[in-house]
Structure 1
């Protein structure tokens, strides 16, 4: 537990520095994290006997990240299409080494990991000319929304854990994640909705819309966690890695963020939060 706490404190401090600094540092960290998560994903499925297209996967992640960094939606569509077709073609060109199932699993992993981290980069640089004044100073709009995304996701996990530990009685998905309870999930929904609404007040953003965003974050964060749980049960692993002492791997730590990052990005665009 002590190792977990120390690692958590160091991780939060590092995350705060990277998020606030932005620029190439933030984008670079997003790329590194996506590649590390892909390595863990490929290794997990290798244990199950799958031979994923590892190098093509890294290339795909880099290209998706590059499109996000450049902010070109048309290039993103072209790259996504190209990745899918190239990986599927590998099941033909490397027949006997890469099966069709291997190729499909590779495509799923590349898009599952690459697109959310790309959205994280796009979210950080959304409406760069807009700044939000707070009691702690001025925040770039994208920086503020990255904080909303991370704090909302952390709040979801935290409220679910403590509520479930205190009063959890009814299993939410016992065949997928035996420790999750209905009570923990409801605690997550209420706590995350309140936390993100509070962030709305802090950043002087519409509180009703932010409360709705918090509600959505709690749902998507829970589903993101369950998706990784299904994958880990299928591949027979407990943790995706041990790169983060006491916390497992990158995939373990960002499983919920993979769902909440695109959610926050599109919610901001649809709700017009950056225009208010």
Structure 2
């Protein structure tokens, strides 16, 4: 537990530095995290005898990331199309070692990981011209909403854990994640709604709108966690990796963020008109 707490504190401090620094530092960190998550994804499915294309996948994730970093929607769409065609072409060029199921798993992973981490980068650099003044200094709009996505996700996990520990009796989705309970989920829902609403007050945003956002962040975060649980249960692994002492792998820590970051990004576009 001590190792888990220490690594968690170090991780939060490092994340705060990277998020606040922004620029190439944040974009590069997003790409490195995507590479690490992709490596864990490939290792997981190799346990089932599949052969996801590790190197090609990293190249394709880089191309997708570049589209998001450049803020070029056309480039991003083209990168996703290029990724599908490239991976499927490998079933012809390397047909002795790369079958169709491995290709489908590769495409799914490139999109699941590559596009999600790319949206994390896109969220950070959205609305850079808009600045929100706070008691802790000025925050660019995208930076503020990235913090909302991250803190909302962490709040969902934390409140669900403690509520489940204290009151959990009814299983939420026993076949996929036996430890999750309905009571824990409801605790997470209340805690996340309150936490994001409080962040709304801090950033001077509409309180009711932020409460609604917090409500849905908890739902989306829970679904993201369950998706990774399905992958781990199918491939027979306990953790996606061990790069983070006491916390497992990158996918273990970012499974919910892979869902909440794109959700908050499109929330800003659709609801806030950014």
Normalising TM by the smaller chain, what interval? Answer: over 0.9
Separation of aligned partners in 2, 1:92 and 1:165: 51
Q: Is the 8 A contact 1:31 1:65 kept in 2?
A: yes
After TM superposition, list the pairs within 5 Å mapping 1:16-165 onto structure 2.
16-165=16-165
The 1:273–1:7 alpha-carbon spacing in structure 2 relative to 1, beyond 3 Å, is farther
Q: Is the 8 A contact 1:205 1:273 kept in 2?
A: no
Q: 1:254 aligns to what?
A: 254
Deviations 1:116-173 (A, max 9, x none): 1111111111111111011212111111111101000000000100000000000001
Separation of aligned partners in 2, 1:51 and 1:136: 48
Runs (4+) off by over 6 Å: none
Q: Is the 8 A contact 1:209 1:271 kept in 2?
A: no
TM-superposed CA distance for 1:17, in Å, is 0.4
Q: 1:13 aligns to what?
A: 13
TM-superposed CA distance for 1:273, in Å, is 6.3
After TM superposition, list the pairs within 5 Å mapping 1:203-242 onto structure 2.
203-242=203-242
Q: Is the 8 A contact 1:27 1:121 kept in 2?
A: yes
TM-superposed CA distance for 1:96, in Å, is 2.1
Q: 2:177 aligns to what?
A: 177
Separation of aligned partners in 2, 1:273 and 1:148: 17
TM-superposed CA distance for 1:16, in Å, is 0.4
How many positions carry a matched residue from both structures? 274
Deviates more, 1:246-255 or 1:90-99: 90-99
* Structure 2: stretches of 5+ with no match in the other structure: none
Separation of aligned partners in 2, 1:93 and 1:234: 29
- Compute the RMSD of aligned alpha carbons: 0.8
Separation of aligned partners in 2, 1:260 and 1:273: 18
Give secondary structure in 2 for the equivalent of 1:180.
strand
TM-superposed CA distance for 1:55, in Å, is 1.1
Separation of aligned partners in 2, 1:112 and 1:87: 15
Separation of aligned partners in 2, 1:273 and 1:107: 31
Deviations 1:198-248 (A, max 9, x none): 111110111111111111100010000000000000000000000000000
Give secondary structure in 1 for the equivalent of 2:30.
helix
Give secondary structure in 1 for the equivalent of 2:172.
strand
Separation of aligned partners in 2, 1:53 and 1:18: 30
Q: TM-score, normalised by structure 2?
A: 0.99
